[in-house]
Amino acid sequence: MYKNYLFDLDGTLLPMDMGKFTELYLQALCRRFVPEIGIDAKTLVKGVWSGAEAMAKNDGLRMNCEVFWRTMNDVCKRDMRAYARDFDDFYRNEFIYAKNGTGYTPYAKKTIEYLKSKNVRLIVATNPIFPKASTYRRIEWAGLDPNDFDYITVYDNCSSCKPNLNYFADICSICGVIPEESLMVGNDVDEDMCASRLGFNTFLVTDCLINRRDRDISVYRNGSFEEFYRYLTNNP
């Protein structure tokens, strides 16, 4: 039993067809904001993608949210941050359309309930490119309560993204996490398993595996989320 458990969200706690999810998300975003803001869809989508790319390259000097909105402003040629509250409202409402690109595993809830009974620290270590409203909503789609977790990474409490090791180092600093006493659970070989370079133990969930470079995953403990749950409960 480790003292700290870090879980990726998209594709791990929340099964996801990333392509379908992204398509539905952008469709819903455009339906809401193209008429509301008076912006064309191509520019809005380009702003979102450019903002995400800028956050992925963030050097830690500014919070991800600042990097995102500055990039959106540059691409859209207007003050897009003025609509930040409207975006939060979107994530609480129209964003539900993108849920059709996600799935559900009962083993996510079983795992979190089991770990809560063991009084360990639980962290949602999702790539922090979304605001709190979006991230909390996706946690709820997974059948979980954001209050189940001691810390959740979002775009306004992080200044880097996975696979930048500074992302994991910041979690350690903020939460008092010692990597060797911790387990990182995720579905992305590059973005999640890299935590092992800081000393984290890892488990690769293969239900929605992302392995861009076709790396040998046998070097990691791996299996379905159900298999992870069995591994966890059989090794108390």
State the pairing for strand pair 151-152/182-186: unpaired
pLDDT at 236: 63
**Torsion angle, alpha carbons of 33, 39, 43, 48, to 10:** -30
Q: From CA 165, how far away is CA 185, in angstroms rounded? A: 15
Both structure tokens of 36: 């509301």
Confidence of residue 15 (pLDDT cuts 50, 70, 90): very high
Mean pLDDT, to the nearest integer, of 176-188? 98
99, 170, 223 from 178: Cα distances, Å: 34, 11, 25
The fold adopted by the segment(s) 4-16+102-234 is Rossmann fold (3.40.50)
pLDDT digits (tens, 9 = 90+) for 33-90: 999 999 999 999 999 999 999 999 998 999 999 999 999 999 999 999 999 999 999 9
Distance CA 3, CA 132 (A): 25
Give me the mean pLDDT over the 163-191 stretch: 98
Which residue carries 């809401």 as its tokens?
Answer: 32
Rounded-to-integer distance, Cα 197 and Cα 206, Å:
20
Q: How crowded is residue 180: how many other Cβ atoms within 10 Å of its Cβ?
A: 11
CB neighbour list of residue 160: distance below 8 Å, 6 or more residues apart: 58, 59, 60, 64, 166, 167, 170
On the 0-12 / 13-18 / 19+ scale of CB atoms within 10 A, 11 is: buried
- Alpha-carbon distances of 158 from 34, 47, 63, 74, 76, rounded to whole Å: 29, 20, 6, 21, 24
The 10s digit of each residue's pLDDT in 140-157 is 999 999 999 999 999 999
d(CA 108, CA 88): 26
Output the pLDDT for position 88.
95
What is the pTM (predicted TM-score) of this model? Answer: 0.96
User: What is the reported pLDDT for 131?
Assistant: 97
pLDDT band at 235 (very low <50, low <70, confident <90, very high): confident
